[in-house]
Amino acid sequence: MVLSEGTLAPDFKLAGTDNRPHSLKEYRGKKVVLYFYPKDDTPGCTKEACAFRDSLSQIKKTDTEVLGVSRDGVESHEKFASKYNLNFMLLADTEEKVCKAYGVIGKKNLYGVISIGLIRSTFIIDKKGKIAKVFSPVRVDGHKDKVLEALEQI
């Protein structure tokens, strides 16, 4: 079950594309767009990442950091970030601990085929570490606009 708005965002420590561990608490005092995506270098995930990349200057104006999380490893993240010039941190949750803590592993229906996987989701975390807004499941088209609108209200 996806975490709800108003709850304290679970802290974590995950390896990032800069080859160092990142924890959520190190971002306290800033807002965080924490987005979970299924797989590096796939069409929907690429479109979503590039939308965040292209709007990062607008996002930063709201005193916000962007962190992308998937179950791919750091090496995969590095290739993905390099290929698309991603200008924000990607974090590797290879053991699914953070995905499970945020409730983004669940049933997916793709063209009538039911499977268990990562449900594309975005959490906006306020400066005090609480979840201010949840988007789940996410439709990529228009998502970054909804995120920007929410950031301006938080």
Q: Which residues are catalytically annotated?
A: 45
Query: For residue 134, which of 126, 149, 124, 145 has the smallest C-alpha distance?
Result: 124
Q: Which DSSP letter does residue 63 get?
A: T
**Per the structure block, which two tokens stand in for 117?**
């996987």
Helices and strands: H and E segment counts in the chain? 5, 9
- Measured CA to CA, the distance from residue 101 to residue 98 in angstroms comes to 5
Strand-pair partners of 117 = 106
| Ramachandran class of 15: left when φ > 0, alpha when ψ lies in -120 to 50, beta otherwise | beta
- Site of tokens 């996987």: 117
